[in-house]
Chains A and B, each alone.
Chain A
Amino acid sequence: MNSKLTNRLATGMFWLVGLGILAILAWFLWHILSAGLPHISWKFLTKKPEEMLSGGGIGPQLFNSFYILALSLLFSIPFGVGAGIWLSEYAKKNRFTDLVRLATEMLASVPSIVFGLFGLLVFVTTLHMGYSIIGGALTLSLLNLPVLVRVTEETLRAVPDSYREASLALGATKWQTIRKVLLPTALPGLVTGITLVAGRALGESAILIFTAGVSVSRFAPDFNVMASGETLAVHLWYVRSEGLVPDATQIAEGTAALLVLVVLILNLVIALPSRFLQRKMAGKSS
Chain B
Amino acid sequence: MTMTAVQEKIRVQNLNLFYGDNQALYDIDLSMQAGSITAFIGPSGCGKSTLLRTLNRMNDLIPSVKITGEVLVDNQNIYADDTDVVSLRKRVGMVFQRPNPFPMSIYDNIAYGPRIHGIKRKRDLDEIVEKSLRQAALWEEVKDRLNKSAMGLSGGQQQRLCIARLLAVDPDVLLMDEPTSALDPISTLKVEELTQELKDKYSIIIVTHNMQQAARISDTTAFFLNGVMVEHGETDKLFTNPGDQRTEDYITGRFG
Contact = CB atoms under 8 A, between A and B. Distances in A.
A92 interface: yes
A9 to B, nearest CB: 50
B96 A171 contact: no
Given A163-B102, A283-B151, A286-B149, A169 B94 contact: yes
Interface in B95-140: 96, 98, 100-104, 112-113, 115-117
A170 B96 contact: no
A181 interface: yes
Interface in A125-163: 160, 162-163
B165 interface: yes
A195 interface: no
A164 interface: yes
Nearest to A278: B103
Contacts of A166: 96, 100-102, 162, 165
Interface string A151-190: 0000000001011111111111100100011001100000
A285 B101 CA distance: 17
B148 interface: yes
Interface string B193-206: 00000000000000
Contacts of B101: 166
A282 interface: yes
A170 B90 contact: yes
Given A167-B112, A172-B113, A181-B112, 12 more contacts: A162-B98, A164-B61, A165-B96, A169-B96, A169-B166, A171-B113, A171-B117, A173-B116, A180-B112, A180-B116, A282-B151, A283-B148
Interface string B45-56: 000000000001
Interface of B: 56, 58, 61, 63, 86-91, 93-94, 96, 98, 100-104, 112-113, 115-117, 145, 148-152, 162, 165-166, 169
Contacts of A280: 149
Interface string A188-220: 000000000000000000000000000000000
Closest 10 CB pairs of A and B: A283-B151, A171-B90, A283-B149, A162-B100, A169-B94, A171-B89, A170-B113, A286-B152, A283-B152, A281-B103
Contacts of B61: 164-165, 168
A171 B103 contact: no
Nearest to A174: B86
Given A180-B116, A286-B148, A170 B102 contact: no
Nearest to A185: B103
A204 to B, nearest CB: 35
Nearest to B100: A162
B169 A170 contact: yes
B95 to A, nearest CB: 8
Contacts of A284: 151-152
A185 B104 CA distance: 9
A93 interface: yes
Given A167-B112, A181-B102, A283-B149, A92 B89 contact: no
A164 B102 CA distance: 10
A258 B162 CA distance: 51
Nearest to A159: B103
Nearest to B108: A180
A38 B82 CA distance: 72
A282 B100 contact: no
Nearest to A92: B63
A282 B103 contact: yes
A283 B150 contact: yes
A185 B166 CA distance: 20
A170 B93 contact: yes
A243 to B, nearest CB: 52
B166 A170 contact: yes
Interface in A243-286: 280-286
A63 to B, nearest CB: 39
Given A185-B103, A283-B151, A176 B58 contact: no
Nearest to A285: B149
B98 to A, nearest CB: 7
A189 to B, nearest CB: 13
8 contacts: A92-B63, A163-B103, A165-B96, A167-B116, A171-B169, A180-B112, A281-B149, A283-B150
Interface in A60-115: 92-93
A178 to B, nearest CB: 12
Contact of B165 (A160, A168, A170): A170
Contacts of A168: 58, 61, 89
A57 to B, nearest CB: 47
Nearest to A160: B100
Contacts of B152: 283-284, 286
Contact of A283 (B87, B93, B103): B103
A191 B117 CA distance: 29
A163 B93 contact: no
